[in-house]
Amino acid sequence: MCAMNTTSGPRFWALVPCAGSGARAGSPLPKQYQELAGQSMVRHTLSALSAVAVLHQILVVLAPDDRLLQPGAGDIWRVAHCGGATRALSVANGLAHLRQLGAAQDDWVLVHDAARCLVTPEQVARLVQACAQDEVGGLLALPLADTLKQAQGERVQATLSRSDKWLAQTPQMFRLELLERALRAAGEQVTDESSAVEALGLSPRLVPGSAQNFKVTYPEDFALARAVLEARMQG
């Protein structure tokens, strides 16, 4: 469960952009609200984050007209209807809302995809432990295991070395002020927070994640995510 940080040091906030339509999932319902193992995908995500004791607050950024997700009496997260047309805008608007909630510029913000519903509290805690004293911040990521091909149209143009390649995951954890500055400089089309920070000439820390922490995107992903969740419940 989330616990208030009573120390005088920086606090840790989680920000979950959840304003997308999920068009690639092939369903009229936004993918974050599709049911998996008894509850919506986003609620699995929030359950995992809510079990991370170091988090001071969890904020879910929804589209302005989204009324599909509301915290109940036992929930320890809150929502803000300030989502934008792109992920970057939703995150930027969410950061502004965190400021309204009392977040300080040197507080840490962990941005996590609503569709990465298989993340575990242990993985999030490992990221916090690895990056809390880092001068930049970092992200969960997975060393690339597959052979990597560069394409030209539908043909292979080259085989690339995978020795230094990682798959970016979330959460991605940076100081509030740095993240605000990076997103302003990068613009609305940046696809993850690390990319924005990298564009400032900084090098975020890579923290090993898990193959199960994948982003549920396509129809076939749902069956795999459901199987993992059901196995965890049975185990």
Per residue in 4-36, pLDDT tens? 454 579 999 999 999 987 555 456 789 999 999
Q: Phi/psi of residue 225, each to 5°?
A: -60, -40
For residues 171 and 112, what is the distance between their CA atoms, to the nearest angstrom? 4
In-domain check, residue 210: yes
C-alpha–C-alpha distance, residues 33 and 10, integer Å: 33
At 67, the amino acid letter reads R
CATH number assigned to the domain comprising residue 41? 3.90.550.10
- Domain holding 21, by residue range, is 12-234
Q: What is the mean pLDDT of the chain?
A: 94
pLDDT band (50, 70, 90) for residue 184: very high
pLDDT of residue 25: 46
d(CA 182, CA 200): 7
- Provide the domain count of the chain: 1
| Per-residue pLDDT, 108 | 98
Average pLDDT over residues 97-103: 98
Domain assignment present for residue 62? The answer is yes
Structural domain contains residue 209: yes
pLDDT in tens, 187-211: 999 999 999 999 999 999 999 999 9
Backbone phi, psi, residue 209, to 5°: -100, -135
Is the CB of residue 113 less than 8 Å from the CB of residue 17?
yes
Here the tokens at position 48 are 């995992």
Whole-angstrom Cα distance, residue 166 to residue 129?
A: 20
Establish if 2 belongs to a structural domain. Answer: no
Task: Tell whether the torsion through CA atoms of 220, 222, 227 and 228 is positive or negative.
Answer: positive
Query: Does residue 189 belong to any structural domain of this protein?
Result: yes
Torsion sign across C-alpha atoms 201, 206, 211, 216: negative
| Residues ≥6 apart with Cβ < 8 Å to 38 | none
| pLDDT (tens digit per residue) in 158-169 | 999 999 999 999
Q: Is the pLDDT of residue 39 over 80?
A: yes
Higher pLDDT, residue 182 or 3: 182
Asked if the structure places residue 156 within a domain, the reply is yes
pLDDT at residue 98 greater than cutoff 80: yes
How many CA atoms, within 13 angstroms, populate the side-chain half-sphere of residue 90?
Answer: 27
What integer pLDDT is reported at residue 139 of this predicted model? Answer: 99
- pLDDT for residue 22: 56
With respect to residue 7, please indicate whether it lies within any of the assigned structural domains: no
Share of the chain above pLDDT 70, in %: 94
DSSP string across 46-80: HHHHHT-TTEEEEEEE--TT--S----TT--EEEE
Q: Is position 1 within any domain?
A: no
pLDDT band at 2 (very low <50, low <70, confident <90, very high): low
- Tell me what percent of the residues of the chain surpass a pLDDT of 90: 91
- Residue 120 DSSP symbol: -
